[in-house]
Amino acid sequence: MAPDALNRLPTDTDDGMVLVISGPSGAGKTTITRAVERAFGDAVFSVSATTRARTPADVEGVDYHFVSEEEFSRMVEGDEFLEHAGVYGKRYGTPRGWVMEQLRRGRLVILEIDVQGAINVKRSLPEAFSIFVLPPNEEELLRRLRDRRREDESRIQARFSQARNEIAAAQTCGVYDRFIVNDNLESAINEAITQVRAERARRREQARARDASGAR
């Protein structure tokens, strides 16, 4: 998606792509997402809007955009989200305007969202490139959830059950372009970076071929 010529900035390119990364709790998706973001100089991370309470550790505009229930509902009614969903009684959404502006500027726009969110994004932007991060097996996933030492066993089991459902949904929904098994974090990061780099190169080549064909 090319920027308008009159509003083009020196840093703008025609290389924009939306990258969706998903995975269950404990799969390592956030670590992989941040590594991919660091690997590409033009990468930007989409910050979700949420109705959940802000904690002392949260930074507005970095971790989330914190909004009231009323403001969130107004944004939904105004079609201001690419996708939105309720999670554990709180609402989360990806702001449409910001994503489309960054895409227009040629950025690699990274969305770390769940399966339902990915489905909704693909409906609006079928050209989005999507990756799902898998644990090597269920036993390892449960071990990782326990090793976090953040929650009691009942909560861990609830997350484990949700993770199993999310993996099943990801494997059957048909929206993911690549699945990466995180049995070794460094290898999984390298694979994700390689896949994104290859997809952007493929799209550049397709664009050049279209331009060459149109010039004839």
6, pLDDT greater than 50:
no
**pLDDT tens digits, one per residue of 172-211:** 999 999 999 999 999 999 999 999 999 999 999 988 888 7
- CA dist 99 and 94 (Å) reads 8
Lowest average pLDDT, out of 66-80, 93-107, 148-162, goes to: 148-162
167, pLDDT greater than 90:
yes
The predicted pLDDT at position 212 comes to 80
The predicted pLDDT at position 183 comes to 96
12, pLDDT greater than 80:
no
Task: Give the pLDDT mean for 143-157.
Answer: 89
Percent of the chain whose predicted confidence (pLDDT) is above 70: 93
Name all domains of the chain by residue range, CATH numbers in brackets.
5-46+108-215 (3.40.50.300)
Residue with the larger pLDDT of the pair 88 and 40: 40
- CA dist 24 and 166 (Å) reads 6
Task: Give the pLDDT mean for 83-111.
Answer: 92
Asked if 27 and 133 touch (Cβ cutoff 8 Å), the reply is yes
pTM score of the predicted model: 0.86
Q: Which two tokens stand for residue 59?
A: 């930074």
Is the Cα torsion angle 99, 103, 109, 113 positive or negative in sign? positive
The predicted pLDDT at position 40 comes to 96
The predicted pLDDT at position 67 comes to 95
7, pLDDT greater than 70:
no
